[in-house]
């Protein structure tokens, strides 16, 4: 049996016992731009753009029409299946258009009266609510995983008869630049713990864990302090390594369990959620608040990088302006972090439920595309791959259109963390090829 790598990481004067998974990489973190800046509510947007397919699964169906008046928190999109999520109006106003795009349908709402969600209700006692009720609240509020993948949260806690032993909250935040989870844990620690308890209750789990990388010692201390009375909740310091916050990597680090190939954490009795999701669950239970806003980090080459709580659908143009505009000439604008985020070609794109940050890289930071050189068989990608795959072999199989080979080498287990491309000294676009390979395998499976 493999032992968990237990290391001692030195942080200041104290030595902390940390856990981690095997392999992975150490990119530059650049978190000091925003990690000391408190979460602030962003200015309310004048217009929001809501995508009906901003979660994983089947897209929501619009239940409003152009010209309708909606109030803050009104449902505008209804979930269309089990793996799907509701969508709510994130500002009060009038629906100006429902537009069909090539890959999604968008609802546009205009007008804002500076309305905030009422939060005066007292905290509800979790013992008075049943697990079924919590699931229903989560589903109704349209809560999805706020870590980035936007997987509907009610699906994760619908255990379907399977036994769940542990709920893990993901506070690793291994993506460089992003600090919003860090600030959430620090400033909303009690909400995080309450949300964790609610998720544990709805999934029927006895133990709760929160994994936090040790570059956020203040958050670890704060969570320890708040959860002192709860003996079944453990705060786990994790080594600073990418992708520590990957679901499977987190489970391996904390519980030393491996999710089977092609399986889900639920198969081994584990549910993993982001800390932001836990806060959203708390607010849904206590204030009946649907997922109308989320925290995100606006960082990089902007004049005043900040952690903001923004309404879903806010155009990124507004947020960049609020943070003082571009610093120098922008080279790339990325939604999410630098490793897994997606580059944008327009500033009118609205923030979606899965957007954990807006990263602006200046023109000098962006390198031109370099033609890949031949693979020198150094195996750095293999040493770095957290899923223990062979990226170089998979890329070659994808180039040669060998679908059977791709399946044999488990291409679908790739978590698309980008570590292989990051470390490759020959500039080979490993992840791009692997994605093509994944698409090929998925297309073949759909056919059969």
Binding site residues, another protein, CB under 8 A: 100-102, 342-346, 366-369, 429, 432-433, 435-436, 439
Yes or no: say if 195 and 226 are a contact pair by the CB < 8 Å rule: no
> By C-beta, is 221 or 396 nearer to another protein?
396
Contacts 24+ apart (CB under 8 A), 36-41: 37/179, 37/183, 37/305, 37/306, 37/307, 38/183, 38/187, 38/307, 39/180, 39/183, 39/184, 39/187, 39/188, 39/295, 39/307, 39/308, 39/309, 40/306, 40/307, 40/308, 40/309, 41/116, 41/308, 41/309
> By C-beta, is 185 or 398 nearer to another protein?
398
> By C-beta, is 261 or 345 nearer to another protein?
345
Pairwise CA distance, residues 307 & 289, whole Å: 21
Q: How far is CA 367 from the centre of its chain?
A: 26
Contacts of residue 228, defined as CB under 8 A and 6 or more positions apart, other chains included, come to none
> By C-beta, is 65 or 127 nearer to another protein?
65
Minimum CB distance to another protein, residue 408 (Å): 17
Minimum CB distance to another protein, residue 96 (Å): 14
In this structure, what token pair is assigned to residue 39? 């979460």
> By C-beta, is 118 or 342 nearer to another protein?
342
Yes or no: say if 222 and 186 are a contact pair by the CB < 8 Å rule: yes
> By C-beta, is 10 or 370 nearer to another protein?
370
In this structure, what token pair is assigned to residue 356? 């954990």
| Residue among 237, 175, 242 at smallest CA distance from 10 | 237
In this structure, what token pair is assigned to residue 335? 């939604």
> By C-beta, is 136 or 429 nearer to another protein?
429
DSSP 302: B
| Residue among 295, 98, 263, 97 at smallest CA distance from 191 | 295
Pairwise CA distance, residues 92 & 72, whole Å: 5
Helices (H) and strands (E) in the chain, counts: 13, 19
Minimum CB distance to another protein, residue 332 (Å): 8
Minimum CB distance to another protein, residue 99 (Å): 9
Minimum CB distance to another protein, residue 393 (Å): 18
Yes or no: say if 337 and 395 are a contact pair by the CB < 8 Å rule: no
Minimum CB distance to another protein, residue 316 (Å): 13
Minimum CB distance to another protein, residue 343 (Å): 4
> By C-beta, is 33 or 431 nearer to another protein?
431
The secondary structure of 129-161 as a DSSP string is S-HHHHHHHHHHTT-B-TTTT--BHHHHH--TT
Minimum CB distance to another protein, residue 13 (Å): 44
Pairwise CA distance, residues 308 & 304, whole Å: 12
Pairwise CA distance, residues 396 & 138, whole Å: 43
Minimum CB distance to another protein, residue 51 (Å): 13
> By C-beta, is 2 or 100 nearer to another protein?
100
């Amino acid at each position: 049996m493999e032992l968990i790598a237990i290391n001692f990481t030195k942080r200041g004067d104290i030595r902390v016992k940390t856990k981690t998974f095997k392999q992975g990489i150490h990119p530059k973190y650049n978190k000091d731009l925003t990690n000391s800046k408190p979460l602030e509510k962003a200015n309310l947007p004048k217009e929001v753009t809501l995508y009906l397919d901003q979660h994983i699964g089947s897209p929501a169906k619009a239940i409003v029409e152009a010209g309708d008046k909606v109030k803050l928190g009104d449902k505008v999109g209804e979930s269309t299946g089990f793996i799907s999520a509701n969508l709510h109006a994130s500002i009060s106003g009038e629906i100006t258009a429902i537009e069909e795009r090539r890959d999604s349908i968008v609802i546009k709402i205009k007008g804002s009266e500076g309305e905030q969600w009422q939060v005066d209700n007292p905290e509800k006692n979790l013992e008075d609510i049943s697990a079924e009720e919590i699931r229903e609240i989560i589903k109704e509020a349209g809560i999805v995983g706020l870590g980035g993948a936007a997987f509907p949260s009610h699906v994760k806690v619908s255990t379907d008869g399977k036994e769940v032993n542990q709920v893990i909250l993901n506070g690793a935040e291994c993506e460089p630049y992003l600090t919003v989870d860090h600030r959430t844990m620090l400033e909303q620690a009690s909400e995080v713990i309450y949300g964790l308890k609610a998720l544990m209750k709805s999934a029927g789990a006895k133990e709760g864990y929160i994994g936090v990388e040790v570059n956020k010692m203040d958050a670890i201390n704060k969570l320890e302090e708040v959860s002192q009375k709860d003996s079944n909740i453990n705060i786990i310091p994790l080594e600073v390594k990418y992708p520590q916050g990957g679901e499977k990597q987190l489970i391996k680090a904390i519980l030393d369990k491996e999710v089977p190939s092609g399986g889900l954490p639920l198969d081994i009795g584990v549910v993993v959620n982001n800390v932001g999701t836990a806060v959203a669950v708390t607010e849904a239970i206590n204030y009946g608040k649907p997922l109308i806003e989320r925290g995100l980090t606006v960082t990089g080459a902007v004049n005043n990088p900040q952690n903001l709580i923004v309404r879903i659908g806010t155009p990124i143009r507004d947020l960049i302006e609020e943070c003082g505009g571009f610093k120098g000439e922008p080279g790339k604008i990325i939604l999410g972090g630098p490793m897994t985020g997606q580059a944008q070609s327009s500033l009118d794109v609205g923030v979606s439920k899965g957007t954990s940050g807006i990263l602006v890289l200046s023109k000098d930071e962006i390198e031109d595309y370099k033609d890949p050189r031949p693979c020198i068989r150094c195996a750095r990608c293999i040493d770095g791959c957290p899923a223990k795959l062979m990226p170089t072999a998979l890329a070659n199989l994808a180039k040669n259109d060998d679908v059977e080979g791709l399946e044999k080498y488990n291409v679908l287990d790739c978590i698309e963390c980008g570590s292989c491309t990051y470390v490759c000294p020959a500039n080979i676009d490993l992840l791009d090829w692997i994605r093509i390979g994944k698409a090929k395998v998925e297309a073949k499976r759909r056919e059969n």
